[in-house]
Structure 1
Amino acid sequence: MPLHYTDCSFAYRAGTPVLDRLTTALPEGCTVLLGPNGAGKSTLLSLGASCIAPSSGRITLGRLDSARKRDRRAFRQKVGWLPQEVKAIPALTVREQAAYVGWLKGLHKRDAWDRSATALEQVRLTEVGGRKSHELSGGQLRRLGIAQTLVHQAEVVLLDEPTAGLDPVQRGVFRDLLAELSDSVHFIVSTHQTEDLADIYDTVLVFDRGRPVFRGPVSDFLATAPVGTPYERRAESAYRGLLQGEI
């Protein structure tokens, strides 16, 4: 059940649209969203999470419309959002923070508390559930961010640069976690990192200047690299070849 964008426009400054009458659908499964800075990736995800609203157009998930007041709570429960920076709430434990976000999404307090245990187990944070959330490492905090999207049983999870600033070991743990969860949740992951695409993702979506310039399986994406490109450089070469502007 992908997110659909229909004739969506958005601008942070008048006369300079980031998205201009964009119509597209985010794929099912596990999708990597690639694109240079300023391409509109974060805006696309923020709109999909209903953190911001389009100046025109619609964003729907099935029959739910993010702008329709009666649909908004159900829409936000089905769409999870992990921004670039996951903030710890110092007064709360890890489990309390996960439950608190579930409550903010409309769950009853008891349901949110019960589901928080399952969500933390899914991201391998059960052992630190009683620790204060501000004591977590960067990698653990990102995993708590995912738990916050799972506690309300989101069907689609949008992640904006989730591995930025993580060391190689933490990035590996994060990738493994996505692979484990992708059987039951649709993931859209915005990133600049092109390594290991074939190990995690089903679809590549390349975004440039507010428009998708490529959408397809990882194998088709890699096939756009010039003949003779070394295997370890194919993803980077394919990505560069699809962009029109500066990287």
Structure 2
Amino acid sequence: MNVIHIAETVKGGVATVINNLTENNEIDSHVICPESQSKEIYCAQKTLFSRTGRNISSLSSLFLVIIKTLKYNKFDVIHLHSSFAGFIVRALFAFKLINKKKYKVIYTPHCFSFIMDTKKWKKKVYIYIERILAKQTDCIIANSYYEYKCAVDAGISKNKIKVVYNAVSLDGQEKLERIKKCNENEVQKEKINILFVGRFDKQKGYDYLLNVIKVADVSKYTFNIIGDSVHDVFEKIEKENVV
């Protein structure tokens, strides 16, 4: 079986999911991802596109790479990751620019756009687009029951949605245990230690974290923050109790 994974950005959880899925040696995997983030993906077969942000130039580059890759390669399954890749490829199917019948299409939004904290009219637009493009999808993967419920409430057929929880590989768990042992001596036992692991984004609650840090008692709490930003634009905070 030949599977191609397509992502407009892979920083953070998307890369972890793709790497876990492409570890299966019985499946011939291929990945389309940004050149600037290619080191995040371990799959040997990669096609890269130029990405400088979420702008017309970057999306055009992704569009052309998708067209060319699908034209000159044979795949059984197309797995789309996040909303932009999901929109571009399924729009190509909708406008008959690519023959949908050749493929089984899986779409993992990694949190639907309409779940985000945004203006009501934008949410309505996102819901409308997702409902239309769901017709070009064989299976939609929700990473939680909450995401599943939001999709069904938005009018997306529940028959197309499957809940698949994100997982951590055993190798990854072993690494975490080793890191934990190395850091045990660094934990300030006289304080409450709070760990945040995630993308520095409002969608992940980073704004709430910053607000908590600003008012938390320095003598009682220590914050360990691990992660990165997709857009490289985020508020940094420097306090003696923030690592």
Instruction: Return the structure number with greater relative CO, CA threshold 8 A, min gap 6.
Output: 1
Please give the range of the TM-score, normalised by the shorter of the 2 chains.
0.3 to 0.5
Q: TM-score, normalised by structure 1?
A: 0.32
Higher strand share: 1
Q: TM-score, normalised by structure 2?
A: 0.32
Structure number with greater Rg is 2
